[in-house]
Structure 1
Amino acid sequence: MREVLQTKDMYFMDDPREGDRLYRKANAKVFVAKYLESHLENLTNARILEAGCGSGAFLQVLGQTYVNHSFVGIDISGERVREANARVIGQTHVKAMQASIYQLPFPDNYFDFIYCRFLYEYLQQPIEATKELFRVCKPEGKLLVQDLDGQFTMYPETPAALKKVILLLKNETGFDPDVGRKLFTFGKSASFSCVHAEIEAYHKKFGSFDEENYRLWELKVDIALEYVKKVLPDAKWTENFKNEFLASLRDENTVLFSNLFTLTFEKAYMHSS
């Protein structure tokens, strides 16, 4: 019998406003075309899993595009799952369900292709999660993992208050702003073989943010600070932090950047002796 890992990650961004923010910034059609299309077009009547489906932006586009595949998205947030299912109404080959990545409700060797984007930065037990993805992946199936590295790197300097918030979140929730560089090791530790890896710039803003991106960042800060206030109940400090950080996004001299790691793993077929 498979041992159940008793853990639940503290997803500090689980806020009613987060679903809409994620959907607005997902750019799902671009993500599907750039990173998933080449994998899915080579499959026939495949089972696809999205680990950490959020509000369903990718499931919606995939369901409309690939009607011969079946798609399942899992997320720890019941609110995100409800939003995702609302977006795929009428697509009988697509569904979202609430589940833990550490205890997936699927049999061994079930999915032809698995992908997850911006999930690992929130996982407290990333290797255990990857082992569970390995379990439900078919032999010769693929896992595509994508996440950020060097988040909130700024010039002239990352504000001291921002560094404090990041450290607090890392210590309290396991949030890892540098997880991208670790994905390769996580996959290998779970017995996957890495077949492709690439790094590209992600956040790459020079000077003042446009109004849409500024508002998305403002919303992200507001949501994160709801959790920070529970651990650091100093209203004046958090308000000063918010004002300082948002001011830096309006500064014509600010540079903000991070790197995006995208790795594709394969589950080797094991021949019986």
Structure 2
Amino acid sequence: MGTTGYIMEHQDEALRLDIKTGGEAIARQAGWAGIRPGMRVADVGCGSGKTTAFLHSLIQPGGEAVGIDASESRIRHATEHYGTEGLSFVQRDFYHPLDGLGGFDFIWVRFVLEYHRAKSVEIVRNLSELLNPGGILCLIDLDHNCLNHYGLSPRLEDAIQGVMAELETRHDFDPHIGRKLYSFLYDMQFTDISVHMDHHHLIYGPLTDMDGYNWTKKLEVAARNSGYPFAEYEGGFEEFLEEFKVFFADPRRFTYTPLIACRGCKPLS
């Protein structure tokens, strides 16, 4: 049985999440899903709390947002940096019943289920219990995650495919979770289901500092700890990392990742 857990766990993860989180995309996606002023909103897997703060701004006046995460350090970071009136954070494990939090009008689950392949359906069912009748559940995640690059050498492509296979089989990661989201809501008989597809990564031309930092951290943490042997490289992981960094810094490189958003309403009865 493989090990499980958050594959991007490291001491600077809250910083990485803050750096890569932008308010424009959150406002666009949450608006499409039906968020509005006065709602009580849960941000599940809230991480650094920056997304929760953006959601809180979208439900004013009169709205309340609660960020939920299992990480004590990230809840502490979120509370210190973003906690304010009507915006709070709680440390809870969504593998278990989330009793005592009250009902919500809108639940946001973005870039969370990809880390919980085996229990993703169970998690969604558990979260649906927190929704008020008629409330909105919004699931957003990536599909074919980290697998869409053009310009890779054969050994670099083999290594990336191998790393992702190890993460899937040994670390409970799901690079194909996006295509499954609709079925979760359909099977739970949610109503008014809508699906939207966009890109999350679209990287070409000169590399930005943010993309360089984000992708390097992914490799330094998740790829390094995946269990993949990097047999293609005499120098192991370090040689793989250097080749990827050279590839990624080349403005000829093309990288993209599809994003799938799915929203639906909990049945009234």
Structure 2-normalised TM-score?
A: 0.87
Alpha-carbon distance in 1 for matches of 2:67, 2:61: 16
Alpha-carbon distance in 2 for matches of 1:143, 1:84: 22
- Which position in structure 2 is the counterpart of 1:55? 48
Does the 8 A contact of 1:56 with 1:83 survive in 2?
yes
Q: CA RMSD in A?
A: 2.4
Does the 8 A contact of 1:50 with 1:116 survive in 2?
yes
Following TM superposition, by how much is the alpha carbon of 1:208 offset from its aligned partner in structure 2, in angstroms?
4.3
1:110 counterpart (103, 107, 122): 103
- Which position in structure 2 is the counterpart of 1:156? 151
Does the 8 A contact of 1:169 with 1:228 survive in 2?
yes
Q: Name structure 1 gaps, 5 residues minimum.
A: 1-7
Does the 8 A contact of 2:150 with 2:253 survive in 1?
yes
- Which position in structure 2 is the counterpart of 1:96? 89
Q: What whole-Å deviation, never above 9, does each CA across 1:192-248 have from its counterpart, x for those lacking one?
A: 23521111122111244233321222122212245236x759994111221122121
- Which position in structure 2 is the counterpart of 1:259? 258
Does the 8 A contact of 1:113 with 1:143 survive in 2?
yes
1:78 counterpart (72, 82, 85): 72
Matched, 1:180 2:178: yes
Following TM superposition, by how much is the alpha carbon of 1:33 offset from its aligned partner in structure 2, in angstroms?
2.1
DSSP 3-state at the match of 1:92: coil
Does the 8 A contact of 1:142 with 1:267 survive in 2?
yes
Following TM superposition, by how much is the alpha carbon of 1:19 offset from its aligned partner in structure 2, in angstroms?
0.8
Change (3 A) 1:108 1:222: closer
Following TM superposition, by how much is the alpha carbon of 1:34 offset from its aligned partner in structure 2, in angstroms?
0.7
DSSP 3-state at the match of 2:225: helix
Does the 8 A contact of 2:49 with 2:77 survive in 1?
yes
Q: Which amino acid counterpart does residue 149 of structure 2 have in structure 1? A: M
Alpha-carbon distance in 2 for matches of 1:201, 1:61: 20
Counterpart mapping for 1:133-148 below 5 A:
133-148=127-142
Alpha-carbon distance in 2 for matches of 1:140, 1:56: 26
- Which position in structure 1 is the counterpart of 2:167? 169
2:14 counterpart (7, 19, 35): 19
Following TM superposition, by how much is the alpha carbon of 1:186 offset from its aligned partner in structure 2, in angstroms?
1.8
Following TM superposition, by how much is the alpha carbon of 1:252 offset from its aligned partner in structure 2, in angstroms?
3.1
